A and B are shown apart, each in its own frame.
Chain A
Amino acid sequence: MVEEVKSGISQLLRERRPVEEPYGEKGYHLSVDMAPKDLIDVGRFFKEKGFYLACALCVDFRDYLELVYFFAHHEGHCRVKVTSRLDPQAPYAPSLSSVFGSALWYEREIHEFFGVRFEGHPNMAYLFLHGGIDFYPLRKEKVMVSEEDRALLNSFRPEEGEDTFFINLGPQHPSTHGVLRVVLKMDGEYIERAEPVMGYLHRMHEKMAENRTYLQFLPNTGRMDYLGAMAFNLGYVTAVERLCGIKAPPRAQYVRVIATELNRISSHLLWLGAYLADLGAMTPFLYVFDDREQILDILEGITGSRLTYCYFRFGGLFNDVDEDFITGVRRFIARMRGRFQIYDDLVTKNVIFINRTRNVGVITRETARQYGVSGPVLRGAGIAMDMRKKEPYAAYGEFDFSIPTGSYGDAHDIYLVRFKEMEESLNIIEQALNGLPEGPIMAEKVPKKLKPPKGDLYHVVETPRGELGIYIVSDESDIPYRMKWRVPSFANLMVFPELVRGCLLADAIAILGSLDLVIPEIDR
Chain B
Amino acid sequence: MGKEILPVRFAVLDKVLNLARANSLWPMTFGLACCAIEMMATAMSRFDLDRFGAAVYRATPRQADLMIVTGTVTKKMAPVLTTLYDQMPSPKWVIAMGNCAISGGPFAFEGQYSIIEGVDLLVPVDVYVPGCPPRPEALLEGFLKLEEKITKTRRFPGPEKRW
Contact = CB atoms under 8 A, between A and B. Distances in A.
Direct contact of A and B (CB under 8 A): yes
Contacts of A293: 41, 46
A200 interface: yes
A176 interface: yes
A520 interface: yes
A176 B71 CA distance: 13
B61 to A, nearest CB: 8
Interface string A162-185: 000000000111111011000000
Contacts of A520: 33-34
B32 A178 contact: yes
A37 interface: no
Contact-residue size bin, chain B (C-beta under 8 Å from the other chain): 35 or more
Contacts of B71: 201
Given A172-B80, A202-B74, A308 B34 contact: yes
A215 interface: no
A201 B72 contact: yes
A171 B81 CA distance: 10
B29 A173 contact: yes
Contacts of B41: 289, 292-293
A227 B37 contact: yes
A382 interface: no
Interface stretch (B10-18, B88-96, B104-112, B119-127): B104-112
B46 A290 contact: yes
Chain A contact surface mostly: loop
Contacts of B106: 219-220, 223
B38 to A, nearest CB: 6
Given A203-B114, A211-B111, A289-B41, A179 B46 contact: no
B161 interface: no
A226 interface: yes
Interface in B125-142: 132-133, 135
A137 interface: yes
Nearest to B58: A174
A223 B34 contact: yes
Nearest to A287: B45
A176 B113 contact: no
B77 interface: yes
Given A172-B29, A201-B71, A219-B106, A178 B44 contact: no
A270 B110 CA distance: 35
Contacts of B26: none
A175 B59 CA distance: 9
Nearest to A170: B80
Interface in B24-64: 29-34, 36-38, 40-41, 44-46, 57, 59
Interface stretch (A128-136, A231-239, A245-253): A128-136
Contacts, number: 106
B72 A203 contact: yes
Interface in A477-524: 520
Contacts of A212: 109
B114 A289 contact: no
A306 interface: yes
B113 A307 contact: no
A136 to B, nearest CB: 11
Contact-residue size bin, chain A (C-beta under 8 Å from the other chain): 35 or more
A55 to B, nearest CB: 22
Interface string A294-308: 000000000000111
Contacts of A144: none
A289 B45 contact: yes
A289 B107 contact: no
B31 A176 contact: yes
A200 B112 contact: no
Contacts of B32: 178-179, 200-201
Contacts of A292: 41
Contact of A308 (B29, B77, B133): B133
A207 interface: yes
Select the residue from B71, B110, B113, B115 with max chain A CB neighbours within 10 A: B113
B111 A207 contact: yes
A19 interface: no
A132 B76 CA distance: 9
A207 B108 CA distance: 12
Contact of A130 (B30, B57, B59, B76): B76
A219 B80 CA distance: 28
A290 B45 contact: yes
A12 interface: no
Contacts of A219: 106
19 contacts: A130-B114, A135-B113, A137-B113, A172-B30, A172-B59, A172-B84, A174-B29, A174-B59, A176-B40, A178-B33, A201-B74, A211-B111, A223-B33, A289-B45, A292-B41, A293-B41, A306-B133, A307-B34, A520-B33
Interface of B: 29-34, 36-38, 40-41, 44-46, 57, 59, 71-72, 74-77, 80, 84, 106-107, 109-115, 132-133, 135
Given A174-B59, A290-B45, A308-B34, 7 more contacts: A133-B114, A207-B112, A207-B113, A226-B33, A286-B45, A289-B40, A289-B41
Interface of A: 129-133, 135, 137, 171-176, 178-179, 199-204, 207-208, 211-212, 219-220, 223, 226-227, 270, 285-286, 289-290, 292-293, 306-308, 520
